[in-house]
Structure 1
Amino acid sequence: MPLDLARHADQRLGTDGFFERRCEDVAKARNTGHPMYFLEVPELEKQATSLEEWHPDIFPGLLQTEEYFRGLARYMGPLTPPEKVEERVRGRMARAELWRRADRPTYWGIVTEEVVRGAPLPPAVMAAQLEHVVDLMRATKSILQIIPGTTLWHPLKHGMAKIMTFADAPPLVWSESDFDGRIIDYPPRVTEYRRRYDLLRATALPPDASIALIEEAARTYRHEAEQGD
Protein backbone atom coordinates (compact mmCIF):
# COMPACT_ATOMS: atom_id res chain seq x y z
CA MET A 1 0.00 0.00 0.00
CA PRO A 2 1.47 3.42 -0.96
CA LEU A 3 2.15 5.73 1.99
CA ASP A 4 -0.34 8.39 0.89
CA LEU A 5 -3.06 5.76 0.56
CA ALA A 6 -2.18 4.40 4.00
CA ARG A 7 -2.53 7.86 5.53
CA HIS A 8 -5.84 8.35 3.75
CA ALA A 9 -7.08 4.99 5.08
CA ASP A 10 -6.05 5.95 8.62
CA GLN A 11 -7.88 9.26 8.31
CA ARG A 12 -11.08 7.77 6.90
CA LEU A 13 -11.16 4.74 9.20
CA GLY A 14 -9.90 6.47 12.34
CA THR A 15 -7.17 3.86 12.84
CA ASP A 16 -4.68 6.20 14.55
CA GLY A 17 -1.81 5.68 12.12
CA PHE A 18 -2.09 1.88 11.94
CA PHE A 19 -1.74 1.61 8.17
CA GLU A 20 1.03 4.21 8.03
CA ARG A 21 3.01 2.23 10.63
CA ARG A 22 2.58 -0.94 8.58
CA CYS A 23 4.05 0.88 5.57
CA GLU A 24 6.99 1.95 7.72
CA ASP A 25 7.46 -1.65 8.86
CA VAL A 26 7.54 -2.84 5.25
CA ALA A 27 10.11 -0.18 4.33
CA LYS A 28 12.27 -1.07 7.32
CA ALA A 29 12.09 -4.78 6.48
CA ARG A 30 13.25 -4.04 2.94
CA ASN A 31 16.16 -1.97 4.23
CA THR A 32 17.35 -4.54 6.77
CA GLY A 33 16.77 -7.73 4.78
CA HIS A 34 14.73 -9.17 7.65
CA PRO A 35 11.10 -10.33 7.43
CA MET A 36 8.66 -8.02 9.19
CA TYR A 37 7.93 -10.49 11.96
CA PHE A 38 11.64 -10.48 12.87
CA LEU A 39 12.26 -6.73 12.97
CA GLU A 40 12.27 -6.40 16.77
CA VAL A 41 14.70 -9.24 17.40
CA PRO A 42 18.02 -7.61 16.34
CA GLU A 43 17.26 -4.62 18.57
CA LEU A 44 16.40 -6.89 21.49
CA GLU A 45 19.65 -8.80 20.95
CA LYS A 46 21.57 -5.53 21.26
CA GLN A 47 19.79 -4.63 24.51
CA ALA A 48 20.13 -8.07 26.11
CA THR A 49 22.62 -8.92 28.83
CA SER A 50 22.52 -12.61 27.92
CA LEU A 51 21.37 -14.73 24.98
CA GLU A 52 20.68 -18.45 25.24
CA GLU A 53 19.76 -20.18 21.99
CA TRP A 54 18.64 -23.59 20.89
CA HIS A 55 18.26 -24.68 17.28
CA PRO A 56 17.69 -28.28 16.16
CA ASP A 57 18.31 -27.74 12.43
CA ILE A 58 20.91 -25.05 11.70
CA PHE A 59 23.49 -22.90 13.44
CA PRO A 60 21.80 -19.85 14.99
CA GLY A 61 21.97 -16.70 12.90
CA LEU A 62 24.53 -14.94 15.09
CA LEU A 63 26.97 -17.81 14.50
CA GLN A 64 26.60 -18.08 10.73
CA THR A 65 29.20 -17.22 8.12
CA GLU A 66 28.14 -15.40 4.99
CA GLU A 67 28.59 -18.45 2.74
CA TYR A 68 26.80 -20.76 5.17
CA PHE A 69 23.73 -18.52 5.31
CA ARG A 70 23.82 -17.86 1.57
CA GLY A 71 23.90 -21.61 0.93
CA LEU A 72 21.02 -22.24 3.32
CA ALA A 73 18.96 -19.43 1.81
CA ARG A 74 19.41 -20.85 -1.68
CA TYR A 75 18.75 -24.41 -0.52
CA MET A 76 15.58 -23.58 1.41
CA GLY A 77 14.31 -21.03 -1.11
CA PRO A 78 15.43 -22.19 -4.58
CA LEU A 79 12.96 -19.83 -6.27
CA THR A 80 14.06 -16.76 -4.30
CA PRO A 81 15.54 -14.09 -6.61
CA PRO A 82 19.33 -13.70 -6.19
CA GLU A 83 18.99 -10.05 -5.20
CA LYS A 84 16.58 -11.02 -2.41
CA VAL A 85 19.02 -13.66 -1.17
CA GLU A 86 21.82 -11.07 -1.06
CA GLU A 87 19.55 -8.66 0.79
CA ARG A 88 18.95 -11.32 3.42
CA VAL A 89 22.68 -12.09 3.60
CA ARG A 90 23.45 -8.43 4.32
CA GLY A 91 20.83 -8.35 7.04
CA ARG A 92 22.16 -11.52 8.62
CA MET A 93 25.76 -10.32 8.61
CA ALA A 94 24.74 -6.96 10.10
CA ARG A 95 23.46 -8.79 13.17
CA ALA A 96 26.89 -10.33 13.69
CA GLU A 97 28.30 -6.85 14.42
CA LEU A 98 27.02 -7.58 17.92
CA TRP A 99 30.16 -9.62 18.57
CA ARG A 100 32.40 -6.57 18.08
CA ARG A 101 30.86 -4.66 20.98
CA ALA A 102 32.66 -4.47 24.31
CA ASP A 103 29.28 -4.64 26.08
CA ARG A 104 27.97 -7.58 24.06
CA PRO A 105 25.64 -10.01 25.85
CA THR A 106 26.96 -13.28 27.21
CA TYR A 107 26.12 -16.11 24.84
CA TRP A 108 25.21 -19.79 25.29
CA GLY A 109 24.04 -21.89 22.35
CA ILE A 110 22.92 -25.48 21.87
CA VAL A 111 22.56 -27.35 18.56
CA THR A 112 22.25 -30.97 17.51
CA GLU A 113 25.08 -33.08 16.14
CA GLU A 114 23.11 -33.21 12.89
CA VAL A 115 23.66 -29.45 12.53
CA VAL A 116 27.42 -30.07 12.69
CA ARG A 117 27.63 -33.14 10.47
CA GLY A 118 24.56 -33.26 8.24
CA ALA A 119 24.03 -29.90 6.53
CA PRO A 120 23.40 -30.15 2.75
CA LEU A 121 26.19 -27.70 1.90
CA PRO A 122 29.60 -28.08 0.21
CA PRO A 123 32.41 -29.39 2.45
CA ALA A 124 34.43 -26.18 2.10
CA VAL A 125 31.47 -24.09 3.28
CA MET A 126 30.86 -26.38 6.24
CA ALA A 127 34.56 -26.47 7.18
CA ALA A 128 34.68 -22.66 7.22
CA GLN A 129 31.45 -22.49 9.21
CA LEU A 130 32.68 -24.88 11.89
CA GLU A 131 36.08 -23.20 12.11
CA HIS A 132 34.31 -19.86 12.49
CA VAL A 133 32.16 -21.17 15.34
CA VAL A 134 35.17 -22.53 17.22
CA ASP A 135 37.14 -19.30 16.79
CA LEU A 136 34.14 -17.16 17.79
CA MET A 137 33.36 -19.15 20.92
CA ARG A 138 36.96 -18.95 22.07
CA ALA A 139 37.48 -15.29 21.22
CA THR A 140 34.31 -14.17 23.00
CA LYS A 141 34.42 -16.72 25.85
CA SER A 142 31.02 -17.96 24.76
CA ILE A 143 29.66 -21.50 24.93
CA LEU A 144 28.18 -23.82 22.34
CA GLN A 145 27.04 -27.31 23.29
CA ILE A 146 26.08 -30.26 21.10
CA ILE A 147 23.20 -32.68 21.60
CA PRO A 148 24.68 -36.06 20.54
CA GLY A 149 23.13 -37.82 17.58
CA THR A 150 22.46 -40.85 19.79
CA THR A 151 20.04 -38.83 21.95
CA LEU A 152 16.52 -40.08 21.18
CA TRP A 153 14.56 -37.50 23.16
CA HIS A 154 15.22 -34.19 24.82
CA PRO A 155 13.32 -31.08 25.96
CA LEU A 156 12.50 -28.53 23.25
CA LYS A 157 12.80 -31.24 20.61
CA HIS A 158 10.48 -29.38 18.25
CA GLY A 159 11.35 -25.82 17.25
CA MET A 160 14.00 -23.27 18.11
CA ALA A 161 14.11 -20.90 21.07
CA LYS A 162 16.11 -17.83 22.07
CA ILE A 163 15.93 -16.71 25.70
CA MET A 164 16.90 -13.06 26.17
CA THR A 165 17.52 -11.49 29.58
CA PHE A 166 17.85 -7.76 30.25
CA ALA A 167 19.27 -5.54 32.97
CA ASP A 168 16.10 -3.53 33.47
CA ALA A 169 13.28 -5.59 31.96
CA PRO A 170 11.76 -9.08 32.31
CA PRO A 171 13.20 -11.88 30.15
CA LEU A 172 11.70 -12.69 26.77
CA VAL A 173 11.68 -15.74 24.52
CA TRP A 174 11.82 -15.67 20.74
CA SER A 175 10.35 -18.71 19.00
CA GLU A 176 10.36 -19.15 15.23
CA SER A 177 9.05 -21.52 12.58
CA ASP A 178 9.72 -21.58 8.84
CA PHE A 179 7.36 -18.72 8.03
CA ASP A 180 6.76 -16.73 11.19
CA GLY A 181 7.90 -16.12 14.73
CA ARG A 182 6.74 -14.58 17.97
CA ILE A 183 8.05 -12.92 21.10
CA ILE A 184 6.84 -14.60 24.27
CA ASP A 185 6.59 -12.39 27.36
CA TYR A 186 4.01 -14.28 29.47
CA PRO A 187 6.02 -15.01 32.66
CA PRO A 188 4.83 -18.60 33.29
CA ARG A 189 5.60 -19.53 29.67
CA VAL A 190 9.01 -17.86 29.82
CA THR A 191 9.73 -19.78 33.03
CA GLU A 192 8.80 -23.05 31.32
CA TYR A 193 11.15 -22.29 28.42
CA ARG A 194 13.88 -21.56 30.95
CA ARG A 195 13.26 -24.87 32.74
CA ARG A 196 13.36 -26.83 29.50
CA TYR A 197 16.47 -25.03 28.30
CA ASP A 198 18.26 -25.94 31.53
CA LEU A 199 17.24 -29.59 31.06
CA LEU A 200 18.43 -29.43 27.45
CA ARG A 201 21.77 -28.02 28.58
CA ALA A 202 22.14 -30.97 30.96
CA THR A 203 21.46 -33.37 28.07
CA ALA A 204 24.18 -31.89 25.84
CA LEU A 205 27.87 -32.73 25.70
CA PRO A 206 30.06 -30.60 27.99
CA PRO A 207 31.42 -27.43 26.35
CA ASP A 208 34.97 -28.76 25.83
CA ALA A 209 33.72 -32.03 24.35
CA SER A 210 31.34 -30.10 22.11
CA ILE A 211 34.14 -27.94 20.73
CA ALA A 212 36.28 -31.03 20.19
CA LEU A 213 33.46 -32.64 18.19
CA ILE A 214 33.11 -29.51 16.05
CA GLU A 215 36.87 -29.37 15.43
CA GLU A 216 36.94 -33.02 14.39
CA ALA A 217 34.04 -32.48 11.99
CA ALA A 218 35.75 -29.37 10.58
CA ARG A 219 38.90 -31.38 9.84
CA THR A 220 36.80 -34.01 8.06
CA TYR A 221 35.02 -31.40 5.95
CA ARG A 222 38.31 -29.66 5.16
CA HIS A 223 39.86 -32.95 4.03
CA GLU A 224 36.83 -33.65 1.82
CA ALA A 225 37.08 -30.18 0.31
CA GLU A 226 40.77 -30.62 -0.48
CA GLN A 227 40.15 -34.06 -1.98
CA GLY A 228 37.55 -32.55 -4.26
CA ASP A 229 39.84 -29.79 -5.57
Structure 2
Amino acid sequence: MDEKTPPAHLNPLQRFGWDVKQVRLARNLRQKSLGKAVGYSEAYVSRVEAGKLLPKPSEKFAKGCDSVFDTGELFTGLLRRIDEGDHPSWFVPYLNLERQAARILDYSANLFMGILQTEEYARAVFRAAHPREEEAVIDGKVAARIRRREVFEKTTPPSLWVILHEACLRTVVGGAAVMARQLEHLVRCAHSTSIDIQVMPFSAGAPAAYMMPFTLLKFGGSPAVVYSDDPRGGRLYDSDGTVAWALDNYDRLRAHALSPDASLVLIESVSKEYRHEQQRLAPE
Protein backbone atom coordinates (compact mmCIF):
# COMPACT_ATOMS: atom_id res chain seq x y z
CA MET A 1 0.00 0.00 0.00
CA ASP A 2 1.21 3.52 -0.85
CA GLU A 3 2.50 5.17 2.34
CA LYS A 4 0.61 8.30 1.32
CA THR A 5 -2.68 6.42 1.21
CA PRO A 6 -4.48 6.37 4.58
CA PRO A 7 -4.97 2.91 6.09
CA ALA A 8 -8.47 1.51 5.92
CA HIS A 9 -10.88 1.70 8.85
CA LEU A 10 -9.40 4.78 10.53
CA ASN A 11 -11.78 6.49 12.93
CA PRO A 12 -12.20 10.29 12.53
CA LEU A 13 -9.58 11.16 15.18
CA GLN A 14 -7.06 8.77 13.65
CA ARG A 15 -7.71 10.17 10.17
CA PHE A 16 -7.22 13.72 11.49
CA GLY A 17 -3.90 12.69 13.04
CA TRP A 18 -2.83 10.87 9.88
CA ASP A 19 -3.51 14.02 7.82
CA VAL A 20 -1.53 16.19 10.25
CA LYS A 21 1.41 13.80 10.00
CA GLN A 22 1.37 13.70 6.18
CA VAL A 23 1.37 17.49 5.85
CA ARG A 24 4.02 17.83 8.57
CA LEU A 25 6.31 15.40 6.75
CA ALA A 26 5.69 17.18 3.44
CA ARG A 27 6.82 20.42 5.11
CA ASN A 28 9.95 18.66 6.49
CA LEU A 29 8.99 19.44 10.08
CA ARG A 30 9.68 17.32 13.16
CA GLN A 31 6.98 16.80 15.76
CA LYS A 32 8.96 18.94 18.18
CA SER A 33 9.17 21.80 15.66
CA LEU A 34 5.44 21.67 14.92
CA GLY A 35 4.63 21.56 18.61
CA LYS A 36 6.78 24.61 19.32
CA ALA A 37 5.20 26.52 16.42
CA VAL A 38 1.62 25.87 17.56
CA GLY A 39 2.26 26.12 21.31
CA TYR A 40 2.12 22.45 22.29
CA SER A 41 4.58 19.78 23.37
CA GLU A 42 6.11 17.13 21.14
CA ALA A 43 4.17 14.52 23.14
CA TYR A 44 0.90 16.32 22.35
CA VAL A 45 1.65 16.29 18.61
CA SER A 46 2.58 12.59 18.83
CA ARG A 47 -0.73 11.73 20.49
CA VAL A 48 -2.68 13.76 17.92
CA GLU A 49 -0.94 11.98 15.03
CA ALA A 50 -1.61 8.60 16.63
CA GLY A 51 -5.29 9.45 17.03
CA LYS A 52 -5.03 8.92 20.79
CA LEU A 53 -5.79 12.43 22.07
CA LEU A 54 -9.23 12.31 23.69
CA PRO A 55 -11.77 13.70 23.46
CA LYS A 56 -10.13 15.49 20.48
CA PRO A 57 -7.32 17.92 19.57
CA SER A 58 -8.02 21.52 20.54
CA GLU A 59 -9.31 24.15 18.13
CA LYS A 60 -6.16 26.14 18.93
CA PHE A 61 -4.04 23.23 17.69
CA ALA A 62 -6.05 22.92 14.46
CA LYS A 63 -5.80 26.65 13.79
CA GLY A 64 -2.08 26.53 14.56
CA CYS A 65 -1.60 23.73 12.01
CA ASP A 66 -3.46 25.74 9.37
CA SER A 67 -1.22 28.72 10.09
CA VAL A 68 2.07 26.77 10.07
CA PHE A 69 1.12 24.62 7.07
CA ASP A 70 -0.57 27.51 5.20
CA THR A 71 -3.63 25.33 4.63
CA GLY A 72 -6.36 27.94 5.03
CA GLU A 73 -8.99 26.41 7.32
CA LEU A 74 -8.39 22.79 6.32
CA PHE A 75 -7.61 21.35 9.76
CA THR A 76 -10.06 23.67 11.52
CA GLY A 77 -12.77 22.35 9.22
CA LEU A 78 -11.71 18.74 9.68
CA LEU A 79 -11.92 19.15 13.44
CA ARG A 80 -15.39 20.66 13.16
CA ARG A 81 -16.56 17.78 11.01
CA ILE A 82 -15.38 15.28 13.63
CA ASP A 83 -18.05 16.75 15.90
CA GLU A 84 -20.67 16.80 13.17
CA GLY A 85 -19.92 13.23 12.11
CA ASP A 86 -20.76 11.86 15.57
CA HIS A 87 -24.08 13.71 15.77
CA PRO A 88 -27.24 12.96 13.76
CA SER A 89 -27.62 15.33 10.80
CA TRP A 90 -30.72 16.98 12.23
CA PHE A 91 -28.80 17.95 15.39
CA VAL A 92 -25.87 19.69 13.64
CA PRO A 93 -27.72 23.03 13.04
CA TYR A 94 -28.54 23.20 16.76
CA LEU A 95 -24.97 22.30 17.68
CA ASN A 96 -23.59 25.15 15.58
CA LEU A 97 -26.00 27.64 17.17
CA GLU A 98 -25.24 26.36 20.69
CA ARG A 99 -21.59 27.34 20.16
CA GLN A 100 -22.66 30.89 19.30
CA ALA A 101 -25.32 31.43 21.97
CA ALA A 102 -24.94 34.04 24.68
CA ARG A 103 -27.65 32.43 26.84
CA ILE A 104 -28.99 28.88 26.94
CA LEU A 105 -32.29 28.21 28.71
CA ASP A 106 -33.16 24.52 28.98
CA TYR A 107 -36.08 22.53 30.36
CA SER A 108 -35.22 18.84 30.83
CA ALA A 109 -38.17 16.55 31.48
CA ASN A 110 -36.74 13.02 31.82
CA LEU A 111 -33.02 13.04 30.99
CA PHE A 112 -30.35 15.62 31.75
CA MET A 113 -29.43 17.81 28.79
CA GLY A 114 -26.38 16.54 26.91
CA ILE A 115 -24.04 19.36 27.85
CA LEU A 116 -24.42 18.45 31.56
CA GLN A 117 -24.07 14.68 31.22
CA THR A 118 -21.13 12.73 32.57
CA GLU A 119 -19.38 10.28 30.28
CA GLU A 120 -20.88 7.27 32.07
CA TYR A 121 -24.41 8.69 31.96
CA ALA A 122 -24.09 9.60 28.27
CA ARG A 123 -22.79 6.12 27.47
CA ALA A 124 -25.77 4.51 29.21
CA VAL A 125 -28.19 6.78 27.31
CA PHE A 126 -26.62 6.02 23.93
CA ARG A 127 -26.33 2.30 24.63
CA ALA A 128 -30.04 2.16 25.51
CA ALA A 129 -30.96 4.12 22.36
CA HIS A 130 -28.63 2.12 20.08
CA PRO A 131 -28.47 -1.40 21.54
CA ARG A 132 -27.04 -2.97 18.37
CA GLU A 133 -24.32 -0.43 17.59
CA GLU A 134 -20.65 -1.36 17.84
CA GLU A 135 -18.76 -0.01 20.84
CA ALA A 136 -16.62 2.26 18.62
CA VAL A 137 -19.76 4.02 17.39
CA ILE A 138 -20.98 4.56 20.94
CA ASP A 139 -17.51 5.83 21.91
CA GLY A 140 -17.71 8.45 19.16
CA LYS A 141 -21.14 9.63 20.22
CA VAL A 142 -20.08 9.89 23.87
CA ALA A 143 -16.91 11.81 23.02
CA ALA A 144 -18.86 14.22 20.82
CA ARG A 145 -21.35 14.86 23.61
CA ILE A 146 -18.60 15.53 26.16
CA ARG A 147 -16.90 17.94 23.73
CA ARG A 148 -19.94 20.20 23.90
CA ARG A 149 -18.66 21.37 27.29
CA GLU A 150 -15.92 23.28 25.47
CA VAL A 151 -18.28 26.26 25.08
CA PHE A 152 -17.70 26.96 28.79
CA GLU A 153 -13.95 27.25 28.17
CA LYS A 154 -14.42 30.32 25.96
CA THR A 155 -13.21 33.71 27.16
CA THR A 156 -16.86 34.74 27.43
CA PRO A 157 -18.83 31.52 27.99
CA PRO A 158 -22.61 31.42 27.58
CA SER A 159 -24.82 31.57 30.63
CA LEU A 160 -26.76 28.35 31.11
CA TRP A 161 -30.01 28.14 33.07
CA VAL A 162 -31.45 24.65 33.43
CA ILE A 163 -34.76 23.57 34.91
CA LEU A 164 -34.79 19.86 35.66
CA HIS A 165 -38.00 18.01 36.32
CA GLU A 166 -37.52 15.78 39.37
CA ALA A 167 -38.06 12.84 37.01
CA CYS A 168 -34.53 13.48 35.73
CA LEU A 169 -33.18 12.84 39.23
CA ARG A 170 -35.29 9.72 39.76
CA THR A 171 -34.92 8.04 36.36
CA VAL A 172 -32.15 5.52 36.97
CA VAL A 173 -29.78 5.61 34.00
CA GLY A 174 -26.83 3.22 34.18
CA GLY A 175 -27.40 2.20 37.78
CA ALA A 176 -27.07 3.78 41.21
CA ALA A 177 -23.32 4.49 40.98
CA VAL A 178 -23.67 6.26 37.62
CA MET A 179 -26.57 8.34 38.93
CA ALA A 180 -24.70 9.30 42.10
CA ARG A 181 -21.74 10.56 40.07
CA GLN A 182 -24.06 12.34 37.63
CA LEU A 183 -25.77 14.22 40.44
CA GLU A 184 -22.43 15.06 42.06
CA HIS A 185 -21.36 16.47 38.68
CA LEU A 186 -24.52 18.61 38.62
CA VAL A 187 -23.66 20.04 42.02
CA ARG A 188 -20.20 21.02 40.76
CA CYS A 189 -21.73 22.59 37.67
CA ALA A 190 -24.16 24.59 39.79
CA HIS A 191 -21.23 26.23 41.57
CA SER A 192 -20.00 27.64 38.26
CA THR A 193 -20.64 31.34 37.73
CA SER A 194 -22.04 30.48 34.27
CA ILE A 195 -24.60 27.85 35.30
CA ASP A 196 -27.85 27.99 37.29
CA ILE A 197 -29.91 24.88 38.05
CA GLN A 198 -33.45 24.60 39.36
CA VAL A 199 -35.49 21.47 40.02
CA MET A 200 -39.21 21.20 39.27
CA PRO A 201 -40.39 18.87 42.07
CA PHE A 202 -43.13 16.31 41.63
CA SER A 203 -45.08 18.24 44.26
CA ALA A 204 -45.39 21.22 41.87
CA GLY A 205 -47.96 19.31 39.86
CA ALA A 206 -48.25 19.55 36.09
CA PRO A 207 -45.73 22.14 34.87
CA ALA A 208 -46.41 24.53 32.00
CA ALA A 209 -44.60 22.41 29.41
CA TYR A 210 -45.27 19.14 31.25
CA MET A 211 -43.06 16.41 29.76
CA MET A 212 -41.94 18.19 26.58
CA PRO A 213 -38.29 19.26 26.89
CA PHE A 214 -37.09 22.27 24.96
CA THR A 215 -34.11 24.60 24.76
CA LEU A 216 -34.02 28.34 24.07
CA LEU A 217 -30.89 29.88 22.56
CA LYS A 218 -30.42 33.64 22.82
CA PHE A 219 -27.80 35.60 20.89
CA GLY A 220 -27.55 39.04 22.42
CA GLY A 221 -29.34 41.41 20.08
CA SER A 222 -30.31 38.69 17.59
CA PRO A 223 -33.66 36.84 17.69
CA ALA A 224 -33.85 33.72 19.86
CA VAL A 225 -34.48 30.22 18.55
CA VAL A 226 -36.18 27.21 20.14
CA TYR A 227 -35.02 23.60 19.82
CA SER A 228 -37.31 20.71 20.67
CA ASP A 229 -37.32 16.96 20.04
CA ASP A 230 -40.02 15.08 18.17
CA PRO A 231 -40.32 11.38 17.22
CA ARG A 232 -38.27 11.94 14.04
CA GLY A 233 -35.48 13.93 15.68
CA GLY A 234 -35.03 17.51 16.77
CA ARG A 235 -36.23 20.74 15.17
CA LEU A 236 -35.31 24.41 15.38
CA TYR A 237 -38.05 27.05 15.48
CA ASP A 238 -37.46 30.78 14.97
CA SER A 239 -40.97 32.14 14.41
CA ASP A 240 -41.94 34.99 16.72
CA GLY A 241 -44.97 33.08 18.00
CA THR A 242 -43.07 29.92 18.93
CA VAL A 243 -40.22 31.86 20.59
CA ALA A 244 -42.76 33.93 22.57
CA TRP A 245 -44.55 30.74 23.66
CA ALA A 246 -41.28 29.19 24.83
CA LEU A 247 -40.20 32.30 26.75
CA ASP A 248 -43.58 32.57 28.46
CA ASN A 249 -43.55 28.89 29.42
CA TYR A 250 -39.98 29.10 30.66
CA ASP A 251 -40.93 31.98 32.97
CA ARG A 252 -43.80 29.88 34.34
CA LEU A 253 -41.53 26.88 34.85
CA ARG A 254 -39.02 29.02 36.72
CA ALA A 255 -41.74 30.45 38.93
CA HIS A 256 -42.94 26.99 40.00
CA ALA A 257 -39.52 25.34 40.39
CA LEU A 258 -37.50 25.21 43.58
CA SER A 259 -34.99 28.00 44.12
CA PRO A 260 -31.41 27.27 43.01
CA ASP A 261 -30.32 26.76 46.64
CA ALA A 262 -33.24 24.48 47.49
CA SER A 263 -32.65 22.62 44.23
CA LEU A 264 -29.05 21.89 45.23
CA VAL A 265 -30.22 20.52 48.57
CA LEU A 266 -32.59 18.14 46.78
CA ILE A 267 -29.95 17.05 44.24
CA GLU A 268 -27.44 16.33 47.02
CA SER A 269 -30.08 14.42 48.98
CA VAL A 270 -31.00 12.20 46.01
CA SER A 271 -27.30 11.66 45.28
CA LYS A 272 -26.85 10.32 48.81
CA GLU A 273 -29.79 7.98 48.26
CA TYR A 274 -28.04 6.54 45.22
CA ARG A 275 -24.81 6.15 47.18
CA HIS A 276 -26.63 4.24 49.90
CA GLU A 277 -28.28 2.05 47.26
CA GLN A 278 -24.90 1.39 45.66
CA GLN A 279 -23.45 0.32 49.00
CA ARG A 280 -26.46 -1.88 49.73
CA LEU A 281 -26.08 -3.72 46.43
CA ALA A 282 -22.28 -4.03 46.60
CA PRO A 283 -21.09 -7.61 47.14
CA GLU A 284 -19.62 -8.27 50.56
TM-score tier (shorter): 0.7 to 0.9
Any conservation in 2 of the 1:29–1:39 contact (CA below 8 Å)?
A: no
Equivalent position of 2:198 in the other structure: 145
Q: What is the CA–CA distance in structure 1 between the aligned matches of 2:241 and 2:232, rounded to whole Å?
A: 25
Any conservation in 2 of the 1:164–1:172 contact (CA below 8 Å)?
A: yes
Paired AA for residue 182 in structure 2: Q
Any conservation in 2 of the 1:34–1:91 contact (CA below 8 Å)?
A: yes
Any conservation in 2 of the 1:29–1:36 contact (CA below 8 Å)?
A: no
- Indicate whether 1:57 and 2:110 are aligned: yes
CA displacement 1:38-97 (0-9 Å, x = unmatched)? 002222112111000011110011100000010111123222322221111011011111
Paired AA for residue 153 in structure 2: R
Map 1:18-57 to 2 at 5 A.
Answer: 28=81, 32-57=85-110
Map 1:50-129 to 2 at 5 A.
Answer: 50-129=103-182
What is the percentage of aligned positions where both structures have the same residue? Answer: 32
Structure of greater Rg: 2
Per-residue deviation, 1:28: 4.0
TM-score computed with the length of structure 1 as normaliser: 0.83
Match 2:261 to one of 194, 208, 214: 208
Q: Say if 1:204 and 1:31 are closer, same or farther in 2 by CA, change over 3 A.
A: closer
If asked which structure has higher relative contact order (CA below 8 Å, sep 6+), I would say 1
Map 1:212-227 to 2 at 5 A.
Answer: 212-227=265-280
Equivalent position of 2:251 in the other structure: 198
Any conservation in 2 of the 1:46–1:104 contact (CA below 8 Å)?
A: no
Per-residue deviation, 1:29: 7.4
Which stretch of the first structure deviates more once superposed, 192-201 or 176-185?
176-185
Unaligned runs of 5+ in 1: 1-26
Q: What is the CA–CA distance in structure 2 between the aligned matches of 1:178 and 1:66, rounded to whole Å?
A: 25
Q: Cα RMSD over matched residues?
A: 2.0
Q: What is the CA–CA distance in structure 2 between the aligned matches of 1:120 and 1:64, rounded to whole Å?
A: 11
Q: What is the CA–CA distance in structure 2 between the aligned matches of 1:87 and 1:195, rounded to whole Å?
A: 37
